[in-house]
């Protein structure tokens, strides 16, 4: 996780009860910042190595650079990410292989206005592995699956 381009957390921990409680899984996390590259010190956007790391992650996952990745909160950036994810989903499910751009792929669900989640029409199962997109009920105890 990169926070405000001045702080980064690298970790094997997931942000859930199992990883964060400290009594179940063994996890490790490392946090770092550069005191000379902070909002408070410079009164402007920090452009240190944490910023550089975040931008390199965008290139890795999106397969390109762009000014919109400097301002992730802007609608044009959200639209660019969603468009690429949708394009890569179309390539992934096409009959003929076309290489994707980057490493981002739409998860095959849709969310309606009431918050109801359902699989994309025609994709109740993943096309490559056959597992159910929305999962399936289990008889395993919650302690094993949370």
Q: What is the mean pLDDT of residues 37-55?
A: 88
As a whole number of angstroms, the distance between CA 114 and CA 127 comes to 27
8-21 residue pLDDT tens: 988 887 767 777 77
Measured in whole angstroms, how far is the alpha carbon of residue 47 from the centre of its chain? 22
What pTM value is reported for the model? Answer: 0.75
Q: What is the mean pLDDT of residues 130-136?
A: 90
Give the pLDDT of residue 10: 87
Query: What's phi and psi for 33, nearest 5 deg?
Result: -150, 165
């Amino acid at each position: 996780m990169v926070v405000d381009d001045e702080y980064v957390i690298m970790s094997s921990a997931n942000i859930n009860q199992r990883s964060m409680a400290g009594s179940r899984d063994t996890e490790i996390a490392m946090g770092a910042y550069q005191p000379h590259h902070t909002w408070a010190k410079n009164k402007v956007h920090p452009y240190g190595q944490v910023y550089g790391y975040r931008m390199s992650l965008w290139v890795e996952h999106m397969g390109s650079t762009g000014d919109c990745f400097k301002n992730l909160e802007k609608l044009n950036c959200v639209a660019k990410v969603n468009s690429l994810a949708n394009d890569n989903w179309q390539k992934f499910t096409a009959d003929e292989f076309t290489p994707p751009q980057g490493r981002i792929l739409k998860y095959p669900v849709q969310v309606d206005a009431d918050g109801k989640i359902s699989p994309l029409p025609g994709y109740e199962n993943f096309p490559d592995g056959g597992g159910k997109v929305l999962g399936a009920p289990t008889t395993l105890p919650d302690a094993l699956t949370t």
